Amino acid sequence: MLTYLRPAMNAPIFQFNRHRGDIEREVVERTVAELARFGGVEPPRSFQLVLNDAAYREIDRLEHSVGANPEQLERWKRLARRLGRMTPDELRNEAMGLCAHYVEDVQGNFDKRVYNMATKVLPVGLGLLFKGTDLASGVQRLAELRALPGMDALRDLSQRIRIEGELPTIRRLAEKGTLVVVPTHSSNMDSIVLGWALMEAELPPVTYGAGKNLFSNPLIGYFMRNLGAYRVDRRLRHALYKEVLKTYSQVLLERGYHSLFFPGGTRSRSGKVERKLKLGLLGSALEATSERLQRGDERPIFIVPVTINYPLVLEAETLVEDFLREAGQARYIIEDDEFSKLGRVSHFAMKVMGLNTSMAIRFGTPLDVFGNPVGPDGQSLGPDGTVLRRERYLFRNGVPCADPGRDAEYTRSLGRAVSEAFLRETVVLPTQFAGWLMLERERRRAPSLDLFALLRTTSGEAHPFASVCEDAEWLRARLVTLESQGALRLDPGLRTGAIGDVLTEAVNTFGMYHLRPALERTDEGGILVGDPKLLYFYGNRLDAWAQDLQAALRAGGEGAR
């Protein structure tokens, strides 16, 4: 039976609703104070500029979007016309009103009852969602549905998702300070799967900003709204809205809410582990630490890098297509991908349940806001293992000292530490392994083709299985060495399984979900490349080590001859 008995957890988010009004007021106040300095000028000019920017961008957006609300457009146009004649008070009030409106729109909710229910039924709920049962009315019925036939297959979600890493340490740190969970991002499933993983690992719930479009799925929307997610409308590009968002996340962090954000900013289009990170929210963590310190509050903030490793990615086809479209023209928001098609989600989920390979969620060593590793007792450790006094990083000549230039570089340094952790904690799965290897073999067959040409064609000729196995052994040997050096992680099956089985597993996995299989077995037993783009997407997980792996493959081949 699915009974989840959990220790009483004490996270600020459980009291969210009591402090809701308070938070809203603080966010509006601080945002308005910040906007009063907009453009480096004094009010009322600063308010005039920020309102003008908002009106200009909103009018532009609404005029170019289909089905926009004409009243809304008219309201912005009226504001734009009046801006020049408004009194200083009117300008300030207008800015404040807009901030309040947006905070209202952004603000999440946290319903302890939903959380309690979710801890019990979310595994089933996820299964249900995946199954595509009647979703609109599904919520109340979730508990009953546990008894339905077919649920058995869904109950072992925990066996399909492996949660690993420094969980005991992170549990202790959640009691000692505030967690900022920073995962890799490859799918819209990420926040849901991770939310479940946090519950499963007995870690507290986190608050996070999620694209407004994700809330359109009724069941997911229900859970997201009531489990601490706040809404980010990525269509709004004006400074006032951005400032509201930044302040909102900052205020929650300062108040000790465990938070989640995806430092890659958006789903990895190429399938590569993200290297260029958005530093904004990492910077907020340092700012919040420094703010707290000035108030004499020494509760630390811990950064927890997490990798989410899928054997199959729900949106793989759309993502890689988007990546291959010319750079700069990539659609930032994909509105109509696989995630919005429920049938596709459930199809995906059922397939994942049937896989032999588990997806892996790996929690890395927590870091402090300066990028130092943190030990089980919450202490920051230097490279030589000495315990560090964290606050000293903010000191100069014996006293705390504000220095934005220094803090910006600290944040870049933290970004580098997170991106190194992403690589170290990447769990290489058979599909990624086979994807990289098979594309590499195709490349060697057609060395003169550039990447784009290579991805548009296949050699059309099966690769003899024995020869693929031979290459795969060289590749795996190198990966095992890299793993022993702490450079990355391997799926247990990939590490120790018979190499033929690993490849077969990968071929089968690809064949189970993707409309056009990435790899196929021929009647003669060879491996035929079906979709090089998918190989590219999955293989890119190994891109950071590509040169090293190519060299190992060459050396292996030459040694054999």
Close Cβ partners of 435 (under 8 Å, ≥ 6 residues apart): 506, 518, 534, 535, 536, 537, 538, 539, 540, 541
Q: Which is nearer to another protein, 25 or 406 (CB)?
A: 406
- Taking CB under 8 A as the criterion, which residues in 518-547 touch another protein? 547
Report whether 107 contacts 230 (CB < 8 A): yes
Q: Which range, of 91-99, 338-346, 387-395, 512-520, touches another protein by CB under 8 A?
A: 387-395
What letter would DSSP give residue 337? S
**Binding residues for another protein, how many (CB under 8 A)?**
25
Q: Does 443 bind another protein (CB under 8 A)?
A: no
311-330: contacts with another protein (CB under 8 A)? none
Contact between 554 and another protein by CB under 8 A: the answer reads no
The residue type of 137 is S
Interaction of residue 275 with another protein, rule CB under 8 A: no
- Provide the minimum distance between the beta carbon of 374 and another protein in the complex, in angstroms, as a whole number: 13
**CB 289, min distance to another protein, A:** 12
* Phi and psi angles of residue 399, each rounded to the nearest 5 degrees, phi first: -130, 155
Of residues 343 and 398, the one with the C-beta less far from another protein: 398
Q: Of 3, 159, 386, 484, which one interacts with another protein (CB under 8 A)? A: 386
- The answer to the question of residue 140 lying near another protein (CB under 8 A) is no
Site string for another protein, 389-428 (x = CB under 8 A): xxxxxxxxx-----x-xx--xx-xx---------------
**CB count, 10 Å around CB of 440?**
18
Distance CA 235, CA 69 (A): 14
212 vs 32: CA distance, rounded Å: 24
Q: Which is nearer to another protein, 47 or 393 (CB)?
A: 393
Quick one: 67 or 385, whose CB is closer to another protein? 385
Q: Taking CB under 8 A as the rule, does residue 555 contact another protein?
A: no
Provide, rounded to whole angstroms, the least separation between the CB of residue 185 and another protein.
Answer: 25
* Whole-number Å distance between alpha carbons of 529 and 438: 8
Please state, in angstroms and rounded to a whole number, the distance separating the CA atoms of residues 9 and 383: 33
DSSP, collapsed to helix, strand or coil, labels residue 302 as strand
- Whole-number minimum distance, CB 121 to another protein, in Å? 46
Smallest separation (angstroms) from another protein to the CB of 370: 6
322/339 Cα distance (integer angstroms): 15
Which helix (H) or strand (E) covers residue 183, if one does?
strand 178-183
Return the residue of 102, 248, 370, 513 that touches another protein, per CB under 8 A.
Answer: 370
- Work out how close the CB of 46 gets to another protein at its nearest, in angstroms, rounded to a whole number: 26
Retrieve residue 171's tokens. 């549990």
Site membership for another protein, residue 156 (CB under 8 A): no
- Calculate the alpha carbon distances from 268 to 187, 275, 337, 429 in Å: 8, 10, 14, 17
Sign of the alpha-carbon torsion through 37, 42, 44, 49: negative
- 208, 228 Cβ separation under 8 angstroms: yes
CA-only gyration radius of the chain, Å: 25
Alpha carbons within 13 angstroms on the beta-carbon side of residue 165 total 29
Among 119, 372, 419, 426, binds another protein (CB under 8 A): 372
Give the nearer residue to another protein in terms of CB position, either 334 or 394.
394
Comparison of 338 and 368: residue with beta carbon closer to another protein: 368
Residue in 383, 460, 486, 559 binding another protein, rule: CB under 8 A: 383
Residues 227-266 close enough to bind another protein by CB under 8 A:
none
102 is an interface residue for another protein by CB under 8 A = no
State the residues that interact with another protein by CB under 8 A. Answer: 370-372, 382-384, 386, 388-397, 403, 405-406, 409-410, 412-413, 547
